[in-house]
């Protein structure tokens, strides 16, 4: 484990649009900050800039809600068009709180359990925010792998890439940075079988390392109008892990609460 970590928000990243060269924008931001990538560096990116670059911004006027979406919208006091997008991005509705404000907790098509399928309307577009919605990347792990390859091609450095989103958590108040995509990073650290400091063998300790990195980066990334959606985390050992953030999803057969 490192004795010291540096966590640096990259300044001056411009607004990202569909088709933008996100890898190039990140390298320019590093240059503005006087930083060069080195082995062991991890770039943590807010989901929103990845989604925007991939064209995942949807105009609600183009969405036609189904009767199911209309009913869920009436139950939860939500826009039926937004509810339709939630259903389109989900495998199942897990929990529902009726009323105003209502809550729709779903199993995302990629396996996460969270509210509204991760669809966001804050910091997604100028003008009336109620006119637009931003979906999560289609495959965040593939997005991270592409960015890692592009940055490696331009710099010669195999940096880790982690895509971060804010999740609410059962039994805890508030959102927390969570890894939804990664490349080149050990995201789950299994310590079972290793001794603790007194020689006792650990039996159940598995560390969600990817989520810990995401949460650490969130401290400087911010959640509102800070405008710093990219963070450099420095101080971890260099690695080239084949793991992805999908490894952080608990298998259904181990889920005691559904």
Q: What is the pLDDT of residue 179?
A: 98
Question: Please, what's the largest Cα pairwise distance for the chain?
Answer: 62
Q: What is the pLDDT of residue 226?
A: 59
Residue 202 contacts residue 190 (beta carbons within 8 Å): no
Provide the token pair at 174: 């508030």
Mean pLDDT for each 10-residue chunk of the chain (258 residues)? 85 92 97 95 97 96 97 96 97 94 94 94 70 95 98 97 94 94 97 93 94 96 75 94 96 87
Q: What is the pLDDT of residue 247?
A: 97
Task: Give me the phi and psi of 103, to 5 degrees please.
Answer: -135, 135
- CA separation for the pair 24, 151 (Å, rounded): 8
Count of CA atoms in the C-beta half-sphere (13 A) of 106: 21
Assign 220 to helix, strand or coil: helix
Which domains can be identified in the chain, with CATH numbers? Answer: 6-54+138-249 (3.30.1330.100), 58-134 (3.90.1660.10)
Count of CA atoms in the C-beta half-sphere (13 A) of 128: 5
Q: Could you give the residue ranges of the DSSP H alpha helices within the chain?
A: 22-32, 47-53, 67-76, 80-88, 140-155, 209-221
**Residue among 234, 124, 227, 231 nearest 177 (CA):** 231
Its pTM surpasses 0.85: yes
Assign 183 to helix, strand or coil: strand
Residues 6+ apart with CB under 8 A from 51: 57, 134, 135, 136, 137
Q: What is the pLDDT of residue 126?
A: 62
Residue 86 contacts residue 76 (beta carbons within 8 Å): no
Provide the token pair at 191: 């310590």
> Is-cis flag, bond preceding 84, omega within 30?
no
Q: What is the pLDDT of residue 225?
A: 56
The residue whose two tokens read 């770039």 is 43
Q: What is the pLDDT of residue 129?
A: 60
Q: What is the pLDDT of residue 257?
A: 83
């Amino acid at each position: 484990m490192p004795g010291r970590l540096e966590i640096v928000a990259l300044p001056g990243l411009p607004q990202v649009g569909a088709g933008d060269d996100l890898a190039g924008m990140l390298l320019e931001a590093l240059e503005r900050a006087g930083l060069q990538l080195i082995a062991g560096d991890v770039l943590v990116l807010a989901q929103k800039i990845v989604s925007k670059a991939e064209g995942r911004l949807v105009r609600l006027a183009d969405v036609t809600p189904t009767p199911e979406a209309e009913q869920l919208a009436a139950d939860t006091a939500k826009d039926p068009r937004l509810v339709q997008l939630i259903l389109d991005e989900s495998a199942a509705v897990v929990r529902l709180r009726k009323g105003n404000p209502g809550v729709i907790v779903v199993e995302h098509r990629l396996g996460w359990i969270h509210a509204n399928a991760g669809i966001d309307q804050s910091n997604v577009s100028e003008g009336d925010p109620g006119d637009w919605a931003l979906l999560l990347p289609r495959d965040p792990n593939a997005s991270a792998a592409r960015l890692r390859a592009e940055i490696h091609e331009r710099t010669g450095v195999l940096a880790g890439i982690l895509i971060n989103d804010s999740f609410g958590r059962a039994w805890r108040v508030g959102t927390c940075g969570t890894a939804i995509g990664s490349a080149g990073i050990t995201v789950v650290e299994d310590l079972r079988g290793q001794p603790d400091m007194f020689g006792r063998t650990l039996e159940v300790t598995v560390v969600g390392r990817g989520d810990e990195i995401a949460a650490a980066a969130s401290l400087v990334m911010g959640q509102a109008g800070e405008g710093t959606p990219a963070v450099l985390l420095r101080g971890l050992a260099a690695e080239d892990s084949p793991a992805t953030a999908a490894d952080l999803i608990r298998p259904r057969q181990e889920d005691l609460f559904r």
